[in-house]
Chains A and B, each alone.
Chain A
């Protein structure tokens, strides 16, 4: 059983990660590269801001992939790993519900997109490098709690059902947004607002393609793999 869950997720993750990487190369990745030009210019103009920023705790001398094929290769690698990771959640869900097939998988993919992209993005929109933001750990906590609450809320509404399930589920969907995402004291960033808007759309589109491909392919492969 574990092998079936595992291999459906690995193959589905490879399909979705590959497709998403191709989609990202068109719009989202070029926008990140453009934003880095602004970020670098801002960093040179105001070195004190950069040093004082609590958000920059990274070692500037650490290894980073070289621009070009190396950087693209690592983005592909981490898209594939993200695909396998999220795919494991979908195939585990398929195993627990005892269903498979691309349509069921697609429904799980839509719920994954709502939980891991749309709900967190309502409070913390996808960010270009060089954007002012609240401390990293507080945002990671809010992101994780929001994704978990949204997934649990959707499960209560769609799987448990009934009046109690729907009421509790809606409450869980709303809760993270009533608490509110952590925001920096000063809004703004190095990149112009037009670029920021374009990136949010590009990331949301890439995420949608990733999750639909992940759900449908994991569901289809899960059905095809005979129960072990």
Chain B
């Protein structure tokens, strides 16, 4: 039987932990966006060219 204090600690920990999936997803999203919009290699630039122009990423 947890005391009030340990119960509060468990609740706080769970609340903190439940945010990590969202942070991980957002990080993955930023990684993808930078890959699509800014990745430097000419091959990626050429393949993504039209999509970059239309999404208003700075291109060239």
A and B, one complex? yes
* Bound complex: CA A217 to CA B58 (Å): 27
Does residue B46 face the partner (Cβ distance < 8 Å to A)?
A: yes
Interface of B is mostly: helix
Does residue A185 face the partner (Cβ distance < 8 Å to B)?
A: no
Query: Which A residues, 1 to 56, have Cβ-Cβ distances below 8 Å to chain B?
Result: 1-2, 5-6, 9, 20, 24, 28-29, 32, 55-56
A-B contact count (CB 8 A): 142
Specify which chain A residues have a CB less than 8 angstroms from the CB of B24 in the assembled complex. 2
Specify which chain B residues have a CB less than 8 angstroms from the CB of A82 in the assembled complex. 32-33, 36-37, 51, 55
In the complex, how many angstroms separate the beta carbon of A6 from the nearest chain B beta carbon?
6
In the complex, how many angstroms separate the beta carbon of B36 from the nearest chain A beta carbon?
5
Query: Which B residues, 19 to 39, have Cβ-Cβ distances below 8 Å to chain A?
Result: 19, 21-26, 28-33, 35-38
| In contact, A127 and B53 (Cβ under 8 angstroms) | yes
Specify which chain A residues have a CB less than 8 angstroms from the CB of B32 in the assembled complex. 81-82, 84-85, 88
Q: For B35, B43, B58, which residue has the most chain A Cβ atoms within 10 angstroms?
A: B58
Does residue A170 face the partner (Cβ distance < 8 Å to B)?
A: no
* Bound complex: CA A79 to CA B60 (Å): 18
Does residue A129 face the partner (Cβ distance < 8 Å to B)?
A: yes
| In contact, B60 and A143 (Cβ under 8 angstroms) | no
* Bound complex: CA A64 to CA B50 (Å): 12
Interface of A is mostly: helix
Known: A62-B46, A78-B48, A95-B21. A129 touches B53 (CB 8 A): yes
Chain B residues engaging chain A, CB cutoff 8 angstroms: 18-19, 21-26, 28-33, 35-38, 42-43, 45-60
17 A-B contacts, Cβ less than 8 Å apart? A5-B22, A65-B46, A65-B47, A75-B51, A79-B51, A82-B32, A88-B26, A89-B33, A91-B25, A92-B29, A95-B25, A96-B19, A127-B58, A133-B58, A136-B60, A143-B57, A207-B56
